Amino acid sequence: MADRAFTVLDLIDLDLKEHNSLNLRCIGGRKGLGRVVDIPDLNRPMGAIMGFFEDFAYQRIQLFGRGEAAFLRRLENEGKTDTIEEMFSYAMPCCIFTHNLTPHKDFFEIAENAHCPILQTELGSADFSARIMRILSRIFSPRQIIHGVLVEVFGLGILIQGDSGVGKSETALELIHRGHRLIADDVVEINCIYGNTLMGAGANKIIGHHMEIRGLGIINITHLFGVRAIRDRNEIQLVVELEEWDSSMNYNRFGTEDQTTELLGVNIPKLLIPVKPGRNIPIIIETAAMNERLKSMGYHAGKEFNRNILKWIESDAARSVFFGQDDVI
């Protein structure tokens, strides 16, 4: 969840575009726009409208679709407002009407007296529910700020980490030059969505698509390479750690054992790549991205190589080479 309380006003002011847009506007109860939304879920209050308040989930955002609006019109025609008054005695965050529906004036008056915001959207109930649940899941998800560079390589989100000066930004710059995309440089904000998906973005939108290259200074990737070279956020599917080559280290040469690292409780594949003059790290990372794609499709080159070696050792040809022709019966 965000460091500060997330309010109804924050919900209205979210900068959302295209398929994420909620198109919300306040049509009543403006004094309550500071009410806090602290549960990332919705409630359809038909039971409360009918006077059934047992287990009423008033702490959630209340969503009114065509069914709820039709029942409100029936209550208006019958002159009944007691259940509406009782419903607003609970501290609901806000009420949202879909399909551009508008409640009757009695509903507005009761909401105004209770300082409960009334919002409206032209979206249908199903579409709006899917959008706001996706957005609230991101807002209330666990998050972590880490040092690194996040790039998209062949559609795969790769988090590049390593000590300062090891060449993370320079590696990312070469990847961008080769047609891949930058999500964030230096400071990456990670969100855990739905408990098993890690989404990464720049921690600061203003400086997110800038890079610091030692000896060159700050560069603007968008201006240099165009909008094709950037992306606002991406799922993190691989972690690459760069480190200075250490001749005493026994680095992975066959890749038969997969390594992982844990971020926000989620295990992500990890590669340790030693850096020294003559090694083309961007090409290695491109190859790692393609290899990770193959693994996700069920093909593991290192394990297949190991199986083929075992088959060769067990074959007649291998025994002949080992024992010599004179020893073969």
Chain segment 56-76, per-residue pLDDT in tens:
999 999 999 999 999 999 998
- Which of these is catalytic: 60, 181, 186, 231? 186
pLDDT band at 128 (very low <50, low <70, confident <90, very high): very high
Amino acid symbol at 121: T
- Which of these is catalytic: 73, 74, 80, 147? 147
Q: Which of 149, 109, 159 is nearest to 288 (CA)?
A: 159
Query: How do strand 118-120 and strand 95-97 relate by DSSP bridges?
Result: parallel
- Which of these is catalytic: 253, 316, 326, 327? 253
DSSP 249: S
- Which of these is catalytic: 60, 138, 143, 168? 168
Reading across the β-sheet that carries 233-235, which strands appear in turn?
233-235, 197-202, 181-193, 143-153, 156-162, 238-244, 266-275, 259-263
Whole-angstrom distance, CA of residue 312 vs CA of residue 317:
8
Q: What's the maximum distance between 2 C-alpha atoms anywhere in the chain?
A: 107
Please tell me whether residue 237 adopts helix, strand or coil conformation. coil
Element (H, E) at 140: none
Cβ atoms of 7 and 34 within 8 Å: the answer is yes
35 is catalytic: no
How confident is the model over 1-35, as pLDDT tens digits?
445 689 999 999 998 877 889 999 999 999 999 99
For residues 236 and 329, the model is more confident at 236
Task: Name residues whose C-beta falls within 8 Å of residue 189's C-beta, 6 or more positions apart in sequence.
Answer: 143, 144, 145, 200, 201, 202, 203
For residue 148, is pLDDT > 60?
yes
Q: Which of 205, 239, 202, 209 is nearest to 223 (CA)?
A: 209
186 is catalytic: yes
Residue 279: other Cβ atoms inside 10 A: 11
270 is catalytic: no
253 is catalytic: yes
Q: Which of 240, 243, 220 is nearest to 230 (CA)?
A: 220
How confident is the model over 257-295, as pLDDT tens digits?
788 999 999 999 999 999 988 899 999 999 999 999 888
Confidence at residue 3, expressed as pLDDT on a 0 to 100 scale: 56
For residue 310, is pLDDT > 80?
no
Confidence at residue 1, expressed as pLDDT on a 0 to 100 scale: 44
* 170-201 residues labelled b (16+ CB within 10 A) or e (exposed): bbbbbbbeeebbbbbbbbbbbbbbeeeebbbb
